[in-house]
Amino acid sequence: MYSAQMMDQNISRLNEELQRKLDKISEQQRHIALLQSQLVQLNDPPPRKFTNNTGFQRDACKGSSPAIIRVLDTAKKVASSESSVLLRGESGTGKEVLARVLHKNSPRANKPMIRVHCASLSPSLLESELFGHVKGAFTGAHQDREGRFEAAHGGTLFLD
């Protein structure tokens, strides 16, 4: 038969044991939270900064998102090449801004950058605009006209 004193001691002992186990659970939960945060950091490293250690001029090309950093890193690599560059994107996404950044950082920077808004020209006018024409080539051609390809020779031609 249990006495009241023995029951009190048992309850006291059980409460102490319960408290120790709760403390241990809390400690383990904190450890789990720490491990989870470390795992998130390993899987999702903080965005790196665009490093501009070569005098690359980004001008109006603003932003620090991972996407714009990748674009600027690529632009930095291709700006010094003689390759043609195709910039694709929705209207208003900054293709012309990026084209100007590429031009400014290229060996062609001291040559002209010519922009042609192709959608505003009819097919026949587009041909004359891009390639030029000689006097008398068609009605209204009163003088020779240099085309945009020739005008941009050695520089950059941006066809929008």
3 φ/ψ sector (left φ>0, alpha ψ -120 to 50, else beta): beta
One digit per residue, the tens of pLDDT, for the chain of length 160 reads 567 778 888 888 999 999 999 989 988 988 888 888 777 777 655 544 444 545 666 666 677 778 777 878 787 878 777 777 778 888 887 778 888 888 888 788 788 788 888 788 787 777 777 787 777 777 777 788 888 777 877 777 777 8
- Residue that terminates a domain, selected from 108, 128, 143: 108
Number of domains in the chain: 3
Residues 119, 96 within the same domain: no
Residues 62, 103 within the same domain: yes
Our CA dihedral for 67, 68, 74, 78, rounded to 10 degrees, sits at 150
Structural domain including 123 reads 111-160
pLDDT at 1: 58
As a whole number of angstroms, the longest Cα–Cα distance in the chain is 125
The DSSP 8-state label assigned to residue 51 in this structure reads P
pLDDT at 53: 46
User: Are 97 and 105 spatial neighbours (Cβ–Cβ below 8 Å)?
Assistant: no
Q: What is the Cα 148 distance to its own chain's centre?
A: 30
pLDDT at 54: 58
Residues 19, 31 within the same domain: yes
Residues 4, 25 within the same domain: yes
